[in-house]
Chains A and B, each alone.
Chain A
Amino acid sequence: MAGFEKKDAGPALPSIVLGAAVLVFLIVAPFVLSNYWLRVLTSILMYGIVAQGLNIIVGYTGYHAFGNSVFFGIGAYSTGVGMALGLPFGLALALTVPVAVVVAVMVGWPLLRLSGHYFAIATVALNMAMMEMVINVGGITGGAQGLALPINPMGPAMLYKIIYLVMLLILAGATATVYWLDRGSLGYALRALRDSEQGAQVMGINTTAMKIMAWAASGSFTALAGGVWAYWFTFIEPSSAFDINISIKGYVMMLMGGLGTVFGPLIGAAFLELFATIIWGKFLKIHLLILGMLIVLVVTLMPQGLLHHLRWFKRRGKPKEVIR
């Protein structure tokens, strides 16, 4: 259990073996799984990215970006519009990153000065405002009617494999970023900021720049997920691209797995998405009810997340880290 005692000692052997097995499975999956399960797995990866993106701004920076789905929509629309203008998918997708960063910097400058609840609901309002904006702009975005992306000539079977692999790549990038945050000095700075903004300022941390950077990183990954989603579904409309449920689901996944941990959001995403898929199929009429009850249970019984509880059994007696 050495790996759990000291953070710097690196992961323990069982964790490495388990991690490697999961990685091998994820890489082989598109070539062995049926289309249905590939779809489920792709959506797990997509929500994994959303949850990991939230983890950066919520778990590590302490800013509850409840409406982070705004970046999902921005990513979906900048990819969609880019492709409608004739750009290839890869380029259009890559361009979502600068777009997300510009939005995060421009909007984050005033919004990230707000604290707690105010920031949380301001992001919700931002999401709504962006959605209305896309509806009203019309033109190349298709407005309320939605936007159809160019169909890829290679056929769906191949396309879905590629979509899956791109999602996997982005998720790996997001997880690597979080891992780096968890260990590196930037992560210490962010966590100092999370626990006391004034304290962090006294220690010479430029908190404004840090917060904006964290949100830009969070937004970029979320936007990439949105961009791939747009090409995956090939038809986007404002209400589904800026669906607040996307970030709320990501939020619950992050909480379930454990916020502020490297792999927690991934575990949460896999668990909740599989669960949702099963109840969606079995209980068509009451799946919202079950999902709602699950959320209530998670929040009331294990607000620290699954990962925390798994670990807590292993090192009993350690005081619980209180989340804010």
Chain B
Amino acid sequence: MDMLFQTIINGLLLGGLYATATIGFSMVWGVMGVINLAHGAFIMIGAYVGYWAFAHFGLDPFLTIPLSMAVLFVIGYLLQELLLNRVMRTSLLLSLILTFGLDMFFINVVILLFSSDFHSVNTSYTGSSLKVGTAFIPYVRLLTFTFALILAGGFYLFLRRTRAGHAILATALDKETARLMAINPSRVYSLTFGAGAALAGAAGSLASMLFPISPIMGREFIGAVFVITVLGGIGSVEGCVLAGLLYGLIQALASLVLGVSYQNIVAFIIFLLILVLRPQGLFGKRFYGEIS
């Protein structure tokens, strides 16, 4: 029973981080129909920004979130402006290949800069935890969870409350009408890709405290990101959060009941079932990705 309680808490806390790691990917897919395979690399770069600031200046990774976001926003914005906007005019599926090439590129650049060794970030509070009843909640996990949800909420408000957010939503719903309303779709795409990358960077900074940091750490995230995107409904922020928590929970329970080695199988089977039975996602509605 204690074990179960602990497992549920662990799953949910990790799920929050997965949710934030997914939102950018889901938005990019939902708004412009691009499956960004370099998203994992963005998370990885965010983690390295956190690691670099921690190792050189002793900055707490929570404080490096704005830096990660800024770096990745610039990278994302420029990539969309210079490369992806060109490809989107011909074939959206070429974006799969293109972003995979970018993923390789970034991984290699990081290997050159930081070597392919594993790194870790150990803050003064890394080992301590909060005791709730019979369960232990590590402070780091609790804080990353909180920050992840704050970021998700912030992004939700950005989409719903600001002009730029409205422009993104409008372009996602109807590109041609948006153009008539003096919205420049290319600009909106760059903004969306930049914002998506920035969120990935923030998630990476948070992840740097929980996971071993390596150039290929993004590859491990991308599986979860796919499942959560489809589970939550493509392009839906609230769907991402719910699906992220659900995913964390399912993963934790699967490893408790079936064993750790079955975690991924369970995830992929859920993924395939959702795709076949309910392609709009558990919480999603029909969206751009559905039509194209």
Contact = CB atoms under 8 A, between A and B. Distances in A.
B78 interface: no
A248 B102 CA distance: 13
B279 A118 contact: yes
Interface in A46-77: 64, 66
B90 A296 contact: no
A111 B279 CA distance: 11
B102 A117 contact: no
A55 to B, nearest CB: 14
B100 A248 contact: yes
A303 B279 CA distance: 29
Contacts of A289: 104-105, 108-109, 112
A126 interface: yes
Interface string A291-316: 11111100110010000000000000
A116 to B, nearest CB: 6
A110 interface: yes
B276 interface: yes
A114 interface: yes
A125 interface: yes
B130 interface: no
B52 interface: no
B292 A252 contact: no
Contacts of A126: 268, 272
Contacts of B93: 64, 116-117, 120, 324
A289 B97 CA distance: 15
Contacts of B18: none
Interface stretch (B147-155, B205-213, B257-265): B257-265
A288 B91 contact: no
B283 interface: no
Majority DSSP secondary structure for residues of B touching A = helix
A286 B110 CA distance: 11
Contacts of A285: 111-112
Contacts of A255: 94, 97
Contacts of A322: 90-91
Interface residues of A, number: 42
A135 interface: yes
Contacts of B97: 248, 251-252, 255, 295, 299
Given A128-B223, A324-B91, A133 B108 contact: no
A117 B90 contact: no
B265 A288 contact: no
B86 interface: yes
Interface string A263-281: 0000000000000000000
Interface in B75-96: 83, 86-87, 90-94, 96
Contacts of A292: 101-106, 108
B46 interface: no
A299 B268 contact: no
Contacts of A114: 275-276, 279
Contacts of A293: 101, 105
B194 interface: no
Nearest to B259: A136
A113 interface: yes
Contact of B104 (A113, A116, A133, A295): A295
Contacts of A296: 83, 98, 101-102, 105
A323 interface: yes
A288 B108 contact: yes
Contacts of A251: 97
A303 B104 contact: no
Interface of B: 29, 33, 35, 83, 86-87, 90-94, 96-98, 100-109, 111-112, 223, 226-227, 230, 261-262, 264-265, 268-269, 271-272, 275-276, 279, 289, 292
15 contacts: A111-B275, A114-B275, A116-B93, A117-B289, A129-B272, A132-B268, A252-B97, A288-B107, A289-B104, A291-B101, A292-B108, A293-B101, A296-B98, A296-B102, A300-B83
